[in-house]
Amino acid sequence: MEMIQPLLALICLLMGSESAPSGPAWAGWLGVALYLLLGWTITRAGVNRHLASEGGKSPYHPPVRVGIVHLALWVVLTFMTPWGPWIIATTGDVPFVSLLCGFLPYVAHRVIRCFAAWPAEAASWRTWTKREYVVFSVRVLALPVVPIVVLQGLRDVLLNVDAFAVWLFAYPDVLLPILMLTLLVVVFSIAPVLVRWILGARPLEAGPLRTRLDAYGERSGFRPSNILVWRTGNTVTNALFIGIIPLLRYVVLTDALMARLTDDQVEAVYAHEAGHGMRRHTQLYVVMAAGFLLVNTMFMTGIPVFALEALEGLGQEMAATIVQVLVVGMMVLLLAAFLFIGIGWLSRRFETEADLWAVSTLDKPESFASALEAVGLHLGILRTDRGGMRHFGIGTRIGLINRYRCEPEFRDGFDRLLRRCRLGVLGLLAVGAIGLACYTPGALAVGHARLAYVRGRDAENDSDPVTAATLFTNAITKARSAAVAHPAFARLASEQEAAALASLGDLHLKTGEYEQARGILDQMRARVREGDVLGEFNTDNLTVILDAVMEKPDVAAIRHLIRELDALVASREPDPRSVALTYSDLWLALRSAGETDRPRGAVDAYSAAARLLRAWFKNPDTPPSADALDAARRDLERNVFRQVLFDRAAPEALRALVSE
């Protein structure tokens, strides 16, 4: 649980950063402070009970239920406080940085728990210093976390590459799972290098033990890239196998394992790790992770598409609520299945299979049972009646080995179970791949329209209105074709069509083609679907701007639209730049009608013409700078409708400065 919990905590942070409520920074920091305080309080209470009951004869190992409580506190912090969103907003969502900063409270929580548990460690038979104990705990924490941080960081780096980001924006439901699968394989392939660096492990020196382990490898066919030693101050008796490709596969032995066990017992533990490698358990875990990733993608993308169509008669808000409940519920179920079935139930069977491999390949099979008992005794977990999440109890493991060797019926049944487990892992991957394949044609059809739309926006930003108009028209055509060819994607296609229509209408406004803009507006009114909030807003926005340009400004409608934009910003996460420009144009429309309403939203991101006008009204005695005038001139040259509104709203003196 000590290595699984950080992984779950990282997943919670990634999920919570997207769904946590926004709020003031102090609320996030208050949540962090309470989280750290409770970490200290709960741990110290458990340590005091441990010292009172056992007198410090063994190290303190908190019960599983305590670990669940700590994880639940982290879930509350990440999902119910603005910590995650605040970190992203503060760091600018910089790859690696935002994730690492967001995860710092969890690291601090673990360090505080170490200090709280130190009295039990100091009273036990372990001989390390407080610093060594804390450093060791942080390294164990980093072991499962660093590969996932690297995975997520590489993903974010790629998302910041403009050329790739455009394609990913157009085809997110197809390219993102492929990207994540690729990065998953890459990160797990280089994980041995990361783990070696995290643990500070060094190759096992030449000597009798190295010769013996190499001889076992020759005899059993197990040939890792190297055998490493993890220096733990002779406090941890354990070993692990890492690697999915032949060139990078390590067995890591701790110093205490080699110091406290006989060579026969060390070879037995090494044989167990060899069993993981020879039975390809690490590769199966990667396949299982890939399968869960694809199945999760299948549900996360499929539920909103298909469920919204099926629930359309219930109303937009009710349908959206039901879909959100289904999505969250499915995510929780998949996470629970991955944890309790994949990491729990399946892991225990794989551990047993590795035990059986060790016993079947050792010259002295009896040494394996004594090795298990020695490891459990030194770790302070020698309990025959109970195990952990990933291992059966030591007594149970020895009993299973004896049954397998002595009972043919049990042996056949266990072998059959393991074959089914492997088929189940492969089947999970197949289900996810088939789901993605079924979803792909419709997603690609909508993506073609989205790609044309994005390229149209780029052409518009590059001052190429002819190309932009062609691409927007192409996006509209492709969206309509996608809706016909793939009825299940009709809603997505319709939303993309509405976005392209809105951009085309806005482009006609900028070029002064008001009749064409009026025609686009008629199409938007005919195509907008009930409950399509953005489509309705875009239609109303084009209407009020057109009316203002044609000297028929509807002041009440403009103010109403500004309130609707306020609500959109509060309930969704629209593009901040687009929001600021929309506020800017609505404010210009009000000023052109003689109103004196104050600007709303991010005024510093307004259009150059609106910023110039606002600065003039705010400080009429301060002449505008040459840069501000030049920016406003370029803005008005590219936007005919803004020129019309600006000329009506600006005082004659300012218009004269701009026209110079």
Summarised one tens digit per residue, pLDDT across range 86-115 is 887 787 667 677 778 888 888 899 899 989
pTM for the complete prediction? 0.75
Three-class SS state of 529: coil
Q: Which residues pair with 202 in a beta bridge?
A: 229
For residues 114 and 133, the answer to whether their CB atoms sit within 8 Å is: yes
CA 574 from chain centre, in angstroms, equals 20
Nearest Cα to Cα of residue 213 among 260, 276, 279, 258: 258
Question: 353: which 2 tokens?
Answer: 């299979």
β-pairing, 248-254 with 239-245? antiparallel
307-355: pLDDT as tens digits: 656 656 565 566 667 767 777 777 788 878 887 888 888 998 999 999 9
**Residue 494's pLDDT band (boundaries 50, 70, 90)?**
confident
Q: What H or E segment, with its residue span, contains residue 115?
A: helix 97-123
Residue 605 clears pLDDT 60, i.e. is over it: yes
Residue with tokens 């789901």: 435
Residue 380 clears pLDDT 60, i.e. is over it: no
For residues 260 and 237, the answer to whether their CB atoms sit within 8 Å is: yes
Least confident of 28-32, 199-203, 287-291, 335-339: 335-339
pLDDT for position 320 = 65
Mean pLDDT of 423-444: 90
Domain segments of the chain: what residues? 1-160, 550-660
136-175: pLDDT as tens digits: 888 888 877 787 777 777 777 777 777 777 888 888 888 8
607-622: pLDDT as tens digits: 888 988 888 888 887 8
Count Cβ atoms below 10 Å from residue 345 Cβ, excluding itself. 14
Rounded Cα distance between 12 and 71, Å, is: 9
629-643: pLDDT as tens digits: 898 889 888 888 889
Alpha helices in 386-463 (DSSP H): 394-406, 408-461
Residue 624 clears pLDDT 90, i.e. is over it: no
Question: 317: which 2 tokens?
Answer: 């808000």
Residue 301 clears pLDDT 60, i.e. is over it: yes
Mean pLDDT of 553-567: 87
SS (H, E, C) 150-207: HHHHHHHHHHCCHHHHHHHHHCHHHHHHHHHHHHHHHHHHHHHHHHHHHHCCEECCCC
Residue 422 clears pLDDT 80, i.e. is over it: yes
Which long-range contacts (C-beta less than 8 Å, at least 24 apart) are formed by 575-578? 576/602, 576/605, 577/605
Alpha helices in 362-407 (DSSP H): 366-379, 394-406
**Residue 20's pLDDT band (boundaries 50, 70, 90)?**
low
pLDDT for position 271 = 94
Burial 612-643 (b: 16+ CB within 10 A, else e): bbbbbeeeeeeebeeebbebbbebbebbbbbb
Rounded alpha-carbon distances, angstroms, from residue 50 to 71, 131, 204, 332, 347: 21, 22, 37, 34, 29
For residues 180 and 293, the answer to whether their CB atoms sit within 8 Å is: yes
pLDDT for position 384 = 47
Counting residues of the chain whose pLDDT is more than 90, the rounded percentage is 19
